[in-house]
Amino acid sequence: MELDRNQHSVYLLNYHLVMVVKYRRKVINDEISEYLKHRFVVVGQSYGINLQEWNYDIDHVHVLFRATPHTEMAKFLNAYKSSSSRMVKKLFPEIKR
C-alpha cells in the first residue's frame, strides 16, 4: 500500500461512493456509464481526486477514489452530481420518460 504525502503529513484517504438513480430506475448502460466515469475524472481533477475503480449496475454506480486532506468533498460531489445529471439528460434524452 502506497501512502500519499505532502509537506507536513502522510495520509491515505480512500472513499467508496454509491450513487443511486432516482427511484432506482434502470437507465444506466455501457455508454452512460462511460460518460459518467469520464465526467467524474474531469471534475475530480480540479479537486485533487483520483479515480481508483468504477463499477455499475443498471440502477446504481460504485466508485472507489482517493482524495487529499484539503479536498472539499461536499463541493466536489455537488459539482459532479449537478453537471453529470444535467449533461446525461441532455445527451441521452431516452432516459427521460
List, for residues 70-89, the tens digit of each pLDDT value: 999 999 999 999 999 999 99
CB 18 within 8 A of CB 61: yes
**Amino acid present at 82:** S
pLDDT at 18: 97
Full residue range of the structural domain in which residue 36 is found: 4-95
- Mean pLDDT of the chain, nearest integer: 94
Residue 54 contacts residue 61 (beta carbons within 8 Å): yes
pLDDT at residue 97, rounded to an integer:
66
What would the mean pLDDT of 15-24 be, rounded to a whole number?
94
The x, y and z cell numbers of residue 13, run together, are 484517504
| Cell numbers placing 63 | 466508485
Q: What is the DSSP string of 18-85?
A: EEE-GGG-----HHHHHHHHHHHHHHHHTTT-EEEEEEEETTEEEEEEEE-TT--HHHHHHHHHHHHH
Report, as an integer, the average pLDDT of 35-63: 97
In the chain, how many domains are there?
1
